[in-house]
Each structure stands twice: as structure tokens, then as C-alpha cells.
A and B are shown apart, each in its own frame.
With several copies, the nearest count.
Chain A
Amino acid sequence: MSEQAVLTGEHFMTGDEAAAEGGLAAGCRFFGGYPITPATEVTEVMAKRLPGVGGVFIQMEDEMASMNTLLGAAWGGMKSMTSTSGPGFSLMMENLGLGIITETPCVLVNVQRGGPSTGLPTLVGQQDMMQAKWGSHGDYEIIALAPSSPQEAFDFTIHAFNFSEQYRLPVLLMMDESVGHMFEKVVIPKAEDIKLVPRRITKDKPADYLPFKPDDDLVPPMIEFGEGYRVHITGLTHDEKGYPVINAEAQQPLVRRLCEKITKNADKIYMYDERELDDAEVVVISYGITARIAQQVVNECRAEGKKVGHLRLITCWPFPEPIVRKLADRIKGFVVPEINLGQMSLEVERVAGRGIPTICVPNAGGEVHNPEDIHAVIREVLK
């Protein structure tokens, strides 16, 4: 415990490194990982830093394993985290579901590269955005944040931990290779200036405690193993006691609550960045590295006197429907550049409706958009 957990100060680091430092600053003391480009640096920083701050790093045999160690460590009272990229993310999907149904707080960082399959290990993609929402079987809701800079990789990892504790679920940091591998200034505040959401530990005595009886916000308080609560936690459908009950009567309220604890609290979760939306006729919606390119295009457009605004998604999930719907009622169209062939743009399209065009600026991966491609679509919509 000889080293500093929060590296207060100014740094020049990559998004990967910043995500690891963000985790440490958020109190993460357990990392179960498996290396994969371009997320390996998160793992390597954790391997180096954790022993010095009293934490544990373990490199597991595969991603199924690393995902499950997070759940074990979380029930052991630790804040836990892993990082991966597409292929590993796919392998984590089954047990992401276990984290969801057992309401286990933890954080997964996916540094997205080009897919499908092994694809482009070292080059950028944003193609796992829909997988983040739908990649595990069964119904569930998720929280997924997309940083656009190393500074945000740091900040949003802390947000991710906070959301995971607040709503008791695995939270996803959907980075992309460009942000992950890019060096930039990262300012790490003083430890005491970092707001952390503590674990929602029950105040009940063991005899009274029901592990899945929710508070008013639909989230049940948690316990830590080894404290005498003698809980049973299962991936099967269960009642408030946590006992398996295999019928529709147990399934309906459980699964609805798991979803509603996100949807009904969504207003408190949505994060986005609005730029020059007030008079905008066209709004660009983007996230991650693409938001930087998009902002540049928006600046250029404004310089040319075009009424173009920018909505940058921070929580891609839950998708901030209200703001998009509100914009849809008064603008001429949405332009959605993303490094995929159209994923979040489907959500925009759904929410916006057919009254105005939603035009994706697709990019199958490997490099960021050529700003001109975005510009061209904006011009088209403005016509």
C-alpha cells in the first residue's frame, strides 16, 4: 500500500492509461484481465499499479474467466474492473448477463477496434455499440459511456463506477482505439475532490435482509460475502429472497425491474453534450473519437454561417431519447457519423421518426472519418 492510488496532477497519457487511472481513482482494487489489442495497456497499467495500492491484479486464462472474477471480487466487497476489445467482449457476453441478473456492480472497458471477428486489431472501430446493448441473451438494460478523450476516459471511468454502484449493474465504458491509444493531457484532481458513490450496503440485519428487495428507486441494497448474511445469489430467475423460482410469476417482475431500474431512472443517468443546438437546423449526433471530428466539422459549418449543432452522446445507453425527440420536432435533419455502418443512427432514426431525415455517415472502420464526408452530408440535408 505504498503507492498513491490517485495520481493527482497533470499527465500526458493515453485513453487506455487514463481509464486505468480512473479506475484506481474510483477505488477499483481488483482487476481480472486478459490482454487484447487495443485494450492491453489498461491491463498493463493495472498489473503494475494495483499491488502498490493494496489491490489485486490477476491475468486469467480467458475472458469468460476474467469477467467472472469481477463478479466474485464484487461480492467480496471490492470494486472490480476489466478491459477488453471486440473478440473478448463477445466472450464476456454470457457472463455480463450473470452480472446483470445478480445486480453486481463492476466496470468493463471495451476499447473498440474494427470488426467483425479478428478484423483490424490495431485500428479504430465503433462497431460494438449495439452489441453493448444487445450482446447477451435475454432482456436487460445497460449503461454505456463513450469518452472522446483521455481526460474523459479518466472521468467517465469514475462515472462508470458510480453508476455501477448506484444502480447495481456492470457498466460499460465504450472507448475506441483512437481515444484509447491517443496521448493527451489528463488532469487528475485531488482524491478528496473526486465524488464517489459508495456501495449501497444494506442497513438490515441478516435475519431481515432480502437480497433482491428493492428500494424505492428499484435498486436493492447489497451486502458483502463473509459478513454473516448467508445469502444465496443465482443466475436463475429468483424471488426477493434470491431463491430460484422457475415460473413466469417470478420472471415478470424480476426482469421488468432489472430494466426499469434503468429506464425509470434514465433522466438521472443521461449524459450528453449540447453545442449550438438553439438555432440549429441540422444536428450532428456523434460520440467517442468521432465527436471530435464532428465538432470540427460543426465549427467549420458555423464559420460558413450554416446553422449546424452538435449533440454528443456520453451515455449511448440509455439512449437520451427525450433530447433527440425534442430536437426532431424542430430541426431539418440529423447527421450521424459513426465508425460503423449505422448503429446508434438506428436509434436516432427510431426516435426521430420519419418526419425528418436521419442520415448516417457510415465508416466501416480502420480510420476516423474524413471531415469532408460529414460536411457533404450536412450540406445535403441543409439543401
Chain B
Amino acid sequence: MKKEIRITGFGGQGIILSGYIVGKAAAVFDGKQATMVQAYGPEARGSACSSQVIIDDNPILYPYHRDLNILAALSQEGYDKFHTLVRKDGIILFDEDLVEFDAPADVAVFKGVPATRIAEDLGRVMVANIAMLGFLVAQTEVTSADAMKQAILSAVPKGTGDLNMNAFERGFQHQPAEIVVGAGAGV
């Protein structure tokens, strides 16, 4: 089944890397098809950035999102920009310390994770994205946990494997404090 995933945040949070890891996990370690594209442009300098992943069992033709299944938002700006694109039966994951919202609109499920806080706990704020990936796998099964771990290990700098695995685990284990069922929810 086809899944469209967008990960969003600001420059420096490792957003592109996260997209790359999700895509690689699916394509290389889960043996599925996957594409990942990112927003480019001088506009990207220091401001919002995002990566679009598509995972499918069949070859993917159109590599851009038309109908978002999953949004993982690590910044307010990213959330604001993309949350309306999520399908009614989609899911929004967010860093609960960085994203605030009023009416959760038309989307089925909202789940928060303190990804940045987890990372800070681990002493390296830069692994917040990996915590989010753990959470993502746990909540959506978009890839297998194994594939995701392998992908992470293949992508992060040498010597940071344990740290990243910890972050992943913490995100994976996190029981979402907040599950908001939106207007059009079917869950």
C-alpha cells in the first residue's frame, strides 16, 4: 500500500536526513519501493524545510505528494504549512514542545512526542529527528523497526550509533500523551 510521508522542521534539525533514512529503510532494508524529494532553493536557507517520502509495494511513478498520509512536524512553521495537506484518514505526529495548534481540523489522528526533549535528555539535541523516527515507526509501521534501525546506522556518523539507537528506542517506546481525534476521524 502506498504511503506518503512528509517530515518537516527547520534547517539544522536533520529533516532531509530523516527523509533519507525513512526512504532508505523502506527501499533498501524492507525491499519496498520508495522515493524521497526535498524542497530546494535559496529560500531554504535557514527557514522551513521538508522532505517528501513515498513508500509503496509497486513502482512509484509520481514522486511528489498528492495525498499525504503522514506528517511528522518538528516545527511550528512546518506544521502550519503542511497540516492541511494531510488526508482525512491520515496521521500527524508532532514534537509536543515545538508545535501548538488550535483546532485539529479534518485529520484523523494527532500524536505528540517530546522528540527534542528526549534528545536533550540524551545530551545531543541533534538526535531529535531520530527520536521522531522511532515514534514514527511505532505509531505508523511505515517501515519495519529493523529496517529503520539499519537505515539509521548506515546514515549517521560513525561512533554515534548507540546514541542514535537510544534516541530511536525512546521515541519508539513513547506512549503518546495526547491523541486528538479530528473532525473526520474514522479511528
Q: Do chains A and B touch in the complex (CB under 8 A)?
A: yes
Interface residues, chain A, CB within 8 Å of chain B? 10-12, 37-38, 121-123, 177-178, 181-185, 246, 289, 292-293, 295-296, 299, 367-368, 371
Distance of A343 from chain B, by nearest CB (Å)? 22
Name the CB-closest residue of A to B63: A182
Contacts of A122 in B (CB 8 A): 40-42
Other 9 A-B pairs with CB < 8 A, given A184-B34, A184-B35, A296-B61: A12-B24, A12-B34, A12-B36, A122-B42, A123-B41, A181-B37, A182-B35, A184-B23, A296-B62
- B43 CB-CB contact with A under 8 Å: yes
Q: Is B38's CB under 8 angstroms from A184's CB?
A: no
State whether B27 touches A181 (Cβ < 8 A): no
Which residues of B pack against A, CB within 8 Å?
19-20, 23-24, 27-28, 33-38, 40-43, 60-64, 151
From the candidates A184, A246, A296, name the one contacting B27 in the complex (CB within 8 A). A184
**Alpha-carbon distance between A185 and B59 when the two chains are bound, in angstroms:** 11
- B35: chain A residues at CB < 8 Å are 182-184
23 CB-based A-B contacts, threshold 8 Å: A10-B27, A10-B28, A12-B23, A12-B34, A12-B36, A121-B41, A121-B42, A122-B40, A122-B41, A122-B42, A178-B37, A181-B38, A181-B40, A182-B35, A182-B63, A183-B35, A183-B36, A184-B60, A246-B42, A289-B63, A292-B61, A292-B62, A296-B62
A122 CB to closest chain B CB, in angstroms? Answer: 4
* A37 adjacent to B40 (CB under 8 Å): yes
Give the chain B neighbours of A123 by CB distance below 8 A. Answer: 40-41
**Which residues of the partner chain A approach B36 to less than 8 Å between Cβ atoms?**
12, 182-184
> Chain B contacts of A368 at CB under 8 A?
62, 64
B28 contact set on A, CB distance < 8 A = 10-12, 185
Report how far A292 CA is from B19 CA in the complex, Å: 21
CA distance A251 to B94 in the complex (A): 34
Q: How far is the CA of A185 from the CA of B42 in the complex (A)?
A: 27
Kindly provide the distance from the CB of A37 to the nearest chain B CB, expressed in whole angstroms: 7
CA separation between A333 and B52, bound complex, in Å? 35
Task: Determine the chain A residues whose CB is within 8 A of the CB of B43 once the complex forms.
Answer: 246
A246's contact among B33, B34, B38, B41, by CB below 8 Å, is which? B41
Q: A37-B40, A122-B40 are in contact. Are A292 and B20 (CB under 8 A)?
A: no
Shortest distance between the CB of A181 and any CB in chain B (Å): 6
What B residues does A177 contact at CB under 8 A? 40
Q: Are B20 and A183 in contact, CB atoms less than 8 angstroms apart?
A: yes
Q: Which residue of B is nearest A183, CB measured?
A: B36
For A11, A38, A184, the residue with the greatest tally of chain B CB atoms inside 10 Å of its CB is A184
- 7 nearest A-B residue pairs (beta carbon): A12-B24, A122-B40, A183-B36, A185-B27, A296-B61, A122-B41, A292-B61
**Residues from chain B with Cβ under 8 Å of A37 in the complex:** 40
**Chain B min CB distance to A234 (Å):** 13
Instruction: Known A12-B20, A246-B43; judge A182-B27 contact (CB<8 A).
Output: no
Known interface pairs A182-B35, A183-B20, A246-B41. Does A295 touch B63 (Cβ–Cβ under 8 Å)? Answer: no
In the complex, chain A residues whose CB is within 8 Å of the CB of B61: 292-293, 295-296, 299
Chain A nearest Cβ from B144, distance in angstroms: 15
Compute how far the CA of A122 lies from the CA of B151 in the bound complex, rounded to whole angstroms.
Answer: 27
Q: Do residues B42 and A182 form an inter-chain contact, with CB atoms below 8 A?
A: no
Nearest-CB distance from B11 to chain A (Å)? Answer: 15
**Closest CB of chain B to A378's CB: distance in Å?**
16
